Structure 1
Amino acid sequence: MSDVVLSCKGLVKRFGGITATNNVTLELKRGARHALIGPNGAGKTTLINLLTGVLEPTEGSITLEGRDITKLAPHLRVRSGMVRTFQINQLFASMTPLETLALVVSQHRGLGASIWKRLGADAAVTQRCTELLEQFRLAEVMNQRTEHLAYGKRRLLEIAIALACEPRVLLLDEPVAGVPAGEREELLQTVAALPADVSVLLIEHDMDLVFSFANRMTVLVNGTVLTEGDPDQIANDPEVKAVYLGHGEDAHA
C-alpha cells in the first residue's frame, strides 16, 4: 500500500489569460499533517477547489489512493473518502448540532434523511453523534439552534460534520478564520486532536496554528510551489521569509 493518499501532478488552472494554478505537484502522505501556506492570491483556494472537483483543471491530474479522480464529481470524491471544510460556514441555521450530525451520519450510512427526525431510533447513529459531540466539545450546546452558537462552536460543528463522513483525507480551509481570540484555543486543541488515521491538508494564515499542527508544509506563491519542507526548513528559508513570513507574519525562526 502506497503511503501517498492524495496527489496532484502538473495542475494548471487558467481563467482566460490568468493562470491561477501553475504546474502544481503535491503529495499528501498517509496520516499527514500537511499545511498549504502562502500570501493572499497565491492560489491556495483554487488548488483546493481543483482537488475537490469544484473546478476542473486545465492541465494535470489528481489521484486519490491510487485512483485517478481528475474528472470525478465532487460528491463522488466525498464518497471516495475526501472531505473539505470551507472558509465560510455551510450550516443549517435552524437546526441544532445534534440534529445536524444525526442527519449527516444517517445519510452517510445510507439510512436516508428521515432517520434524524426520530432521534434515538437507530442506536449506532445515536452513539456516533454522541462521540462527535464530545470530541468536538459540542455536548453542552447540542440542543441549541446553530444560528445561536458562538462562532467558534460553529467552526467546530463544521469540522464535526466533515468527520461524520468518515474521511480518509480531510481538507481544512482556514478553520480559525474569523474566530474571536477567546474561542481560538478550544478550536486549536480540537484540530490538534484529529484522528491520526485521517490525513489532513490545512490551508491557514494563522502561523501559530500552522507551526503547532503541521509536520510538512508547502508554500504557494503566484499559483506556483515555491518550496516544501518540514516546519524548521520553512521557518528558516530566506525566500519564504522574503515573500510571506516576513510580511507582517510571525517568522517562527
Structure 2
Amino acid sequence: MSRPALEARGLMKQFGALLATDSVSFALQPGARQALIGPNGAGKTTLINLLTGVIKPTEGHVVLNGQDVTAVSASERVRLGLSRTFQINQLFPHLTPIESLGLAISERNRSGADFWRVAGTRAAIVAEIEDLITRFGLEADMDVPTHRLAYGKQRLLEIALALATRPRVLLLDEPAAGVPEEERQDILAALAALPAEVAILLIEHDMDLVFTFATRISVLVAGRLLTEGDPETIAKDERVRAVYLGEDGHG
C-alpha cells in the first residue's frame, strides 16, 4: 500500500482545562473520499485547524505525504499540497471569480499581485482560470463581484480557489452549509467531479451528502475518534446511531 497522503498521529490539543482533541490518529489515503462527522462540540474544527497548521498541537504530529509538518506554517502546508475550504467562506468580496482565481494561481506561482503583468506565464494562467470557471459552472458569473454571487456560487468559487493551489490533499469544511436546497445539486456535482488523484476529507453535518460522497467515514465524539469504516458499517453502528445519526439515521 502507498503511504498515506495525510496522517494525524496522536493529536492532542488542550485549551486550559479543556481537552478539545484527545490523541486522535487516522490516515487519509491518496485519492481518498473520506468524511469526518460528529456532533456539535466533538472537536472537528479543532482537528482541522491542527491538520492545516492554524493551531499547534499540545502533543502529536501531522504528516503530509510522508513529511512531518507539525512545525510547518499553514501557508507553507498549502505550498506542500494541503488546501482547505472554510465553514464560512473566505473570499474577496469585491473581486470577480476571474480576478480571485487569477490571484490564487499567481500566488501559487509566487508572482502574487503581478499576475496581470506576468507576460511569460499569463497565457497558461488564463487557460487554467478558464478551465476552473467552466468546471465549476461559473461562466455566467465570471465578471460579477463575489459579494453579488448567489451563496451556492460563492461556495463553488471557494472550492475552485482551493483547487487552484493544486492540492494533493483537500479538506472541505461543510461546503453545503447555508446553501439553499435548489443550489445543493451544484455542490454535489462539483464534489463528484473533483480530481480523482486528490485525497479529500469532507467535514459535514448533512448525512445525505456524507453518504453520497464518502467511501470511508471517521466519527469524532468528545475529541476522540470513536470509530471508522465504510458508510454501511457506520450506518449500522449502534454507538454512532446513539451519539449522532439517531435511530432514524441511514441504515
Normalised by the shorter chain, which TM-score bucket?
Answer: over 0.9
Whole-Å separation in 2 of the counterparts to 1:243 and 1:111: 48
> How far off its partner does 1:121 sit?
7.5
Cα pair 2:111 2:118 within 8 Å, conserved: no
Partner of 2:60: 60
Aligned-partner residue type, residue 250 of structure 2: H
Partner of 1:251: 249
1:96-140, Cα deviation, whole Å (9 max, x unpaired): 001110111112122331223789981100000000001111111
> How far off its partner does 1:85 sit?
0.5
Partner of 2:202: 202
> How far off its partner does 1:162 sit?
0.3
Quote the sequence identity (%): 57
Cα pair 1:38 1:219 within 8 Å, conserved: yes
Cα pair 1:7 1:62 within 8 Å, conserved: yes
Cα pair 2:218 2:225 within 8 Å, conserved: yes
Whole-Å separation in 1 of the counterparts to 2:172 and 2:116: 26
The 1:53–1:121 alpha-carbon spacing in structure 2 relative to 1, beyond 3 Å, is closer
Counterpart check, 1:71 vs 2:91: no
Whole-Å separation in 2 of the counterparts to 1:139 and 1:29: 33
Cα pair 1:12 1:59 within 8 Å, conserved: yes
Cα pair 2:32 2:199 within 8 Å, conserved: yes
Whole-Å separation in 2 of the counterparts to 1:188 and 1:145: 24
Aligned-partner residue type, residue 128 of structure 1: E
Whole-Å separation in 2 of the counterparts to 1:120 and 1:45: 40
Report SS of the residue matched to 1:160. Answer: helix
- What TM-score do the two structures reach when normalised by structure 2? 0.97
Query: Superposition pairs for residues 160-175 of structure 1, below 5 Å?
Result: 160-175=160-175
Aligned-partner residue type, residue 18 of structure 1: L
Aligned-partner residue type, residue 170 of structure 2: L
> How far off its partner does 1:45 sit?
0.5
Aligned-partner residue type, residue 185 of structure 1: Q
1:225-249, Cα deviation, whole Å (9 max, x unpaired): 11000000000001100000007xx
Aligned-partner residue type, residue 167 of structure 1: P
Query: Superposition pairs for residues 78-117 of structure 1, below 5 Å?
Result: 78-116=78-116
Partner of 2:187: 187
Aligned-partner residue type, residue 146 of structure 1: T
Single out whichever of 114-123 and 212-221 deviates more from structure 2: 114-123
Aligned-partner residue type, residue 33 of structure 1: R
Whole-Å separation in 1 of the counterparts to 2:183 and 2:117: 31
Partner of 2:48: 48
Report SS of the residue matched to 2:225. Answer: strand
Whole-Å separation in 2 of the counterparts to 1:199 and 1:112: 26
Whole-Å separation in 2 of the counterparts to 1:234 and 1:153: 31
Single out whichever of 68-77 and 119-128 deviates more from structure 2: 119-128
Whole-Å separation in 1 of the counterparts to 2:69 and 2:3: 18
The 1:114–1:182 alpha-carbon spacing in structure 2 relative to 1, beyond 3 Å, is same
Aligned-partner residue type, residue 85 of structure 1: T
Paired positions, count: 251
> How far off its partner does 1:203 sit?
0.2
- Return structure 1 stretches of 4+ with deviation > 3 angstroms: 116-121
1:37-67, Cα deviation, whole Å (9 max, x unpaired): 0000000010000000111100111101111
Partner of 1:149: 149
Report SS of the residue matched to 2:131. Answer: helix
- What TM-score do the two structures reach when normalised by structure 1? 0.96
1:173-203, Cα deviation, whole Å (9 max, x unpaired): 0000011111111111111111001000110
> How far off its partner does 1:72 sit?
0.6
The 1:120–1:211 alpha-carbon spacing in structure 2 relative to 1, beyond 3 Å, is farther
